[in-house]
Amino acid sequence: MNHLDIDTPSFRKMKDEESIVLIDVRSIVEFNSGFLKGAINIDFNNPEFEESIDELDKRVKYLVYCKSGNRSRQAMFLMRDLGFEEVYNLSEGIISWNEFNFPLERS
């Protein structure tokens, strides 16, 4: 089982692999201001967050991110505790993504 913080270039490379699920754990307002292509928004601060996460396939590889890496790191550990096999956290969040000038989608 892998549950790791990874740097931004590694996260970007892994994001393009097949069969990964990308989860943005920021609020809907943050998400709508710019998100990674293909990301699913599941707000970490929503009271139903754990229930929503627990419904996902635990055998799939997940990449999680937030603004700075804090909420997504907590989400990664929660997912580990719920039995998810592989979860990777963007350690410095979308702040770092932007510093690298990597692309974002807008809704």
Inside any domain, residue 106:
no
Q: Give the pLDDT confidence score for residue 97 in this predicted structure.
A: 97
CB 23 within 8 A of CB 42: yes
User: What pLDDT was estimated at residue 39?
Assistant: 97
Print the domain residue range for 28: 2-99
Which CATH number fits the domain that encloses residue 13? 3.40.250.10
> pLDDT by residue (tens digit) across 23-81?
999 999 999 999 999 999 999 999 999 999 999 999 999 999 999 999 999 999 999 99
Whether 15 is in a domain gets the answer: yes
Nearest to 15 by CA among 95, 89, 105, 99: 89
Encode pLDDT of 72-89 as tens digits: 999 999 999 999 999 999
Domains identified in the chain, total number: 1
The answer as to whether 14 is a domain residue is yes
In whole numbers, what is the pLDDT of the chain averaged over residues? 96
